[in-house]
Structures are given as structure tokens and as C-alpha cells.
Amino acid sequence: MARTWPRLTMALGALGVATSGVFVALSGTSPSTATFFRCLLALPLVWPLACSERRHEGRLSWRGGAVAAGAGVLFAGDALLWTQAIFEVGAGLTAVLVNAQVILVPLLALLIDREPLARAFLGIVPFMVAGIVLTGGIFETGVPGSAPVWGTIHAILAALCYSGFLFLLRRNGQMGRAIQSYCGVLASAAVVALLVGSLWSGITVTPGWSALGWLALTAVGSQVCGWLLVALASSQLSSMASAALLLLTPVGALALAALALGEQPSLLQLFGCALMLTSAYAASASSSSWRWLTGPARRLLGTSRDV
């Protein structure tokens, strides 16, 4: 499916990932506990698929395993910081803020792989920054979440880790054995969450059946049905196309957070969300798409100059 319909696979994966914020919030567990269990519970589901891939395609190389382990460390950092931000700024808004990755991933691809940027990329960055400030509610009072400023900071740090994770995930997938690589990501992230949890926010190895149930849903919906599909599809798409399709995650997360958690962002925050998502799409759009989007404005300006 990923090779035949990579865009559809990526879209379905992005929507699967969108469920994680609500499920983690409903679990009420610490960032380390949530990260540890969402990875640990996903491993038994992904492992048989990895074994099947190994029989048909061969073993993942040592280099591929090392890259997967590094991606797991970055995923753990993303999940830990992102989960902390959920309680500080809200599940829906956090999902939007983390998608500053749509700016960072193409930059990594440019610096390391010399993959060219879209023509309008640099012009979009100031609008993305403005969207981040508005979405976080930094200058407002009475917005959702307990600490909007810290939530925004944690979400942006999570976006940095998220960008590195996506870059390594896509790069490893291009070498083949994507499912085995993803198993390495899950195992590495679980170990990191366990180690960090003992030093930072604490980890509960017996969170209770209710919390465990929500974390199991996170593992199935996000880690297996979400990130596994993303891992399979990302190697078939450009970094810009992947980043654009992943924008379905914050859109879905905003809708789910409103329905399940009753989160109601302010008008300025909603405007910031719209600004971020529009900027992110424009940054990752192809040149032809960008010309189509800006055509009316360019024609209007051209008419004005003629007057």
C-alpha cells in the first residue's frame, strides 16, 4: 500500500497520530509513563511484522540499527516534551505547535542531503513564527492550559526533536527494512523514557487499568496505525510532501480535543493556528501549487502597478 499509494498511506498515518494527544491526556499519566508505555505496548504488535520483513528482505544493517536507535532517542525527546506541553497549553494546540517541524525538516534535508527548498520557503518563516506566538497564547490570559508560555517552549523543543526524528525515519526508510527500523525506534524510545523518567518527571510502572487502557489505545492508534504507516510512506515521498500531509495531524487533533476534552481556544489562538497551518502548507507546496495560491494576489498587484 505504501509503495502504491504513498500519499494515502501518509494521510491515514497522520490521522492515526492525531489521536495520541487526546488519549494521553485522558490517561492522566506523567510524560515519562505515557512515552514508555505507548512504545512498550506497541512493540508486540509491530514485532511480527518486522520478523516477516526480515524473512523476505533480510536483516537490518548495523548502520540502519544505529540510525533507528538515534531516531528513537529523538522520538522519546519529542514525546516527553510534547506530553508535558499537553497539560500546559492543551492537546489540540500542542499538536499545532509541534508542526513547526514543517519548516525544520526541509532545512535538515537541505543542509544534509542538498534537497532544494520551495521558492517561497524563506518568505513563509516570519508568518510561521507569528502563528506560533499567537497559537501558544503567550500574551493572553484565560486561555486553555495551565502554563501557556512554558507549554509553547516545550512544544517548540519537541518540534526540534520531532524534526530530527522525521528526518532520520525517512532516511532510514529509503535504505529499506522500514518496519525493522521502526521496531528499533520503539525499543530505543522506551529505554530512554524509562531512564529519563527516573530523573525527571517520574515514571509509574503500575499506572492502573484505566490509564493503561488509554495508553494501549495510544499505542494502537498512534504508534502502530499512525507512525508505522508514516514510516512506510515517508521514504516514498519528498520531505516537503511528507511535511504537508502530516498537517492532517494537528487538524485532526484540534477537532478531537474540542469534542473529547472540551478545549476551546481563543479567537487569537485559532487565528494563530490558521496562520501556522497555511504557512506550513505554503512552505511545503510545490512551485505550481504556490503559483496557483498566489496567482490572484500577484495579478492584483500587477494591475495596481499598471494604474
| Mean pLDDT on 176-194 | 89
All cell numbers assigned to 44: 508486540
Residues in the chain, total:
307
Give pLDDT tens digits for 87-121. 888 878 887 887 777 677 777 777 877 777 766 67
User: Burial, 117: exposed, middle or buried (Cβ in 10 Å; 0-12, 13-18, 19+)?
Assistant: middle
| Mean pLDDT on 228-232 | 81
All cell numbers assigned to 132: 506560533
Of the pLDDT bands very low, low, confident and very high (cuts 50, 70, 90), residue 239 is low
Give pLDDT tens digits for 44-74. 999 999 999 899 888 888 888 898 999 999 9
Give pLDDT tens digits for 136-160. 777 666 666 667 788 888 888 888 8
pTM: 0.74
Distances (CA, A) of 152 to 84, 85, 88, 296: 10, 7, 8, 34
CA distance 169 to 105: 11
CA distance 152 to 146: 11
- In the predicted structure, residue 233 carries a pLDDT above the cut 90: no
Of the pLDDT bands very low, low, confident and very high (cuts 50, 70, 90), residue 288 is very low
Residue with the three cell numbers 487502557? 213
- In the predicted structure, residue 201 carries a pLDDT above the cut 70: no
Predicted local confidence at residue 173, as pLDDT: 65
